[in-house]
């Protein structure tokens, strides 16, 4: 699914892709389950688009002086990114501090 948010002057593009771990996950008997799950995520995501557009308008305001993350609002995203980074670094035999 591609989406171009209206409130961002065409500067944002969203792409949602679904990846499965192995060939067993692609079994025909799971197709309907995958489609329902994908539709659920797409529907939830559509609900968030207005919120994201509003945040982007606020971030583009001349009075905005924040950083990349607003910890109270984006703690979950930040934590997820830290987990992914730690796993990737661990696979390469490195620590967070390197």
The per-residue pLDDT for 49 is: 84
Q: Under the phi-then-psi rule, with left for phi > 0, alpha for psi from -120 to 50, and beta for the rest, what region is 10?
A: left
Q: What is the pLDDT of residue 18?
A: 82
pLDDT 10s digits, 75-98: 888 889 899 999 988 887 765 555
CA distance 69 to 60: 14
Q: Which residues of the chain have pLDDT under 50?
A: 1-2, 4
Q: What is the pTM for the complete model shown?
A: 0.46
Q: Helices in the chain by DSSP H: which ranges? A: 31-59, 71-91
Instruction: Kindly state the DSSP code that residue 34 receives in the 8-state scheme.
Output: H
Looking at residue 8, what is its pLDDT? 52
3-state secondary structure of 55: helix
With contact defined as beta carbons under 8 Å apart, do 4 and 13 qualify?
yes
Q: Where are the domains of the chain?
A: 2-66, 69-98
* Residue 2, pLDDT score: 47
């Amino acid at each position: 699914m591609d989406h171009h948010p209206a409130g961002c002057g065409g500067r944002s593009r969203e792409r949602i892709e679904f990846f499965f771990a192995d060939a067993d996950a692609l079994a025909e008997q799971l197709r309907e389950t995958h489609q329902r799950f994908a539709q659920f995520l797409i529907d939830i995501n559509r609900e968030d688009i207005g919120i994201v557009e509003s945040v982007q308008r606020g971030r583009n305001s001349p009075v905005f002086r924040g950083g990349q993350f607003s910890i109270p609002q984006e703690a979950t995203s930040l934590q997820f990114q830290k987990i992914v980074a730690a796993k990737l670094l661990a696979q390469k035999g490195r620590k967070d501090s390197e």
